[in-house]
Structure 1
Amino acid sequence: MPFVTTEQKLLAIVAHLAYFFGGLGFVIAPLAILIWKREDPFIYHHAKQALVVQGVLLIASLAVGLLSMLLVGLLLVPILVLAGIALVVTSLFAAYNALNGELYRYPLIQSLVDRL
């Protein structure tokens, strides 16, 4: 892999850890980085990975929230909590890889990432 600059590493890390911004920042930040730096393969890869995994978690959260209104979703809340914990752990690992100038692929979502 060619030399990775500090800016590239920083933007990749921000894409992965954007959920710490709160609100919809966890989807907006990776999307903005993806659009802004789409010509940079390192940043594009990391932003795309982060956007897909955080988007999947957002959709799952919305689905569980809607199902909770019917009381069915309450059974899914523990699974959603485990998915959130998995997101924190894997995104920290992804940020660490970005800091080292390496690419990272989130587990379980690669078929979806490859299609986009």
Structure 2
Amino acid sequence: MRSVAAPPTDDAAVIAASLDDPGRFAQVYEKHAGKLYGYAYRRVGREIAEDVVADAFVAAFRARRGGVRGPGGGLGVRPGMAPTAGRRARPARPQGAGRAPAGRLG
């Protein structure tokens, strides 16, 4: 009797499999989304954290054809992606906001 191979579970193998079956990328999302959300929540707050996570995974999904990279061969779906996504999600702060006017220290 022929055994059926178990689906891959490490990020590199799942990402490679997702090239033929994009739905497989959901495994990467399920594995990392909670940690990334927690990181984003602490950095940008609840209202923006979901957008940060979504942006990070959209970027990772689109980049998966470029090759698997990152520690352990996994795609860089890590907290390191969240600051970039967070900057895109947050409204820009006006230049000089939060600073004392020049010449005044207090």
Structure 2 length-normalised TM: 0.36
Structure 1 length-normalised TM: 0.34
Question: Larger C-alpha radius of gyration, 1 or 2?
Answer: 2
User: Is the helix fraction higher in 1 or 2?
Assistant: 1
